[in-house]
Amino acid sequence: MVGKICGTGSYAPHRVMDNHDLAKIVETSDEWIRERTGIGKRHIIEEETTSYMAGQAALRAVEQSGIDPAEIELIILATSSSETVFPCAACEVQKTIGAVHAAGYDMNAACTGFVLAFNTAQAYISAGICKTVMVIGADSMSNLVDWTDRSTCILFGDGAGAVILRAEEGMPVHMAAHSDGVKGPALTELSRHRKDWDKENDSESYIHMDGQAVFKFAVRKVPEIIEEVLDQAGMRLDEVDHFVLHQANRRIIEAVAKRLKTDISKFPMNLEEYANTSAATVPILLDELNRKDVLKRGEKVMLSGFGAGLTWAACLFEW
């Protein structure tokens, strides 16, 4: 059995910060940001939290699927920015949607998180452990960036996306994942938990990134893992209908398409609207494509995520 997507949902905060708004905070411009990233604006939380956004995306996925939430057996939530350590955000989602029979846990693999969670859900279904699994990617990146650092604050936004997988007969799901901890310092978010009496050592916790190192890593490793999964499946590149990649930077996606010698039209993007929402980028894009009827039953879809760790993963399945 394989997990077929029977419902998708997404949520983005109502507050929108465009590039002109950012230009009032740091030395930048709309033209400068668009040229280097493809980003036009980002959605930023106000009263919302990561688990709230995840819950709203989950509710929309349930509504579209038409299933009873009590049928969901497992909720896997990919996030690196939950507002709580425990209870985990997945359990907050369980409460929100009324999935009374579901187990739930969070997974932290940064921007690769949703694809790894999706692969994990497929493993549960393939093993016969679960028949109905919800997979969510949700992040509040605005809480992690230094809004005075032009190199990072222009890149990120907040949001959540969810899919529901149901066990069905179908084409086997092919997947792969890797990590390289040695190169982890290229993208970090280091945190310290300060004691009340330790005020002298108080320090803020922000994302630190070597942009060039991350770019080189992504444009090399993403094509490699896509080809690895295709070899595993015994398929050719031209048999894949859609490459749904982590939405980090337009230049990265264009470079991946060029290395694979594949038409960029097969690489949908929504960076202009949402920026990089970390684990949420892939499911938000899947929800957009699904609701616009871009994805047709029987088409082959390749997912790929890459990010801090360093981690990267991919998955090939039939829509």
Domains of the chain, CATH where assigned: 2-168 (3.40.47.10), 174-318 (3.40.47.10)
- Pick the catalytic residue from 246, 249, 290, 315: 246
**CA distances from residue 58 to 99, 193, 207, 295 in whole angstroms, order as listed:** 10, 31, 27, 20
CB proximity list for 84: less than 8 A, separation 6 or greater = 51, 92
- Asked whether 15 and 44 are in contact (CB, 8 A), the reply is yes
Instruction: State the Cα–Cα distance between residues 282 and 265, nearest whole angstrom.
Output: 17
Closest CA to 308 of 161, 122, 111: 111
Known catalytic membership, residue 276: yes
Find where tokens 């996306």 sit. 161
Q: How far is Cα 279 from Cα 115, in angstroms, rounded to an integer?
A: 8
Which residue in the list 19, 88, 91, 111 is annotated as catalytic?
Answer: 111
Q: Can you read off the two tokens belonging to residue 175?
A: 């997947």
pLDDT tens-digit profile, the chain (319 residues): 999 999 999 999 999 999 999 999 999 999 999 999 999 999 999 999 999 999 999 999 999 999 999 999 999 999 999 999 899 999 999 999 999 999 999 999 999 999 999 999 999 999 999 999 999 999 999 999 999 999 999 999 999 999 999 999 999 999 999 999 999 999 998 654 444 444 454 446 789 999 999 999 999 999 999 999 999 999 999 999 999 999 999 999 999 999 999 999 999 999 999 999 999 999 999 999 999 999 999 999 999 999 999 999 999 999 9
pTM of the model: 0.96
For the chain, the C-alpha Rg in angstroms (whole number) is 19
Catalytic residue check, 270: no
- Residue 19 sits at φ, ψ, to 5 deg, of -65, -30
**Lookup: tokens for 123:** 């493993």
| Active-site annotation holder among 19, 119, 249, 276 | 276
Instruction: Please confirm, yes or no, whether 130 is among the known catalytic residues.
Output: no
For residues 221 and 173, what is the distance between their CA atoms, to the nearest angstrom? 20
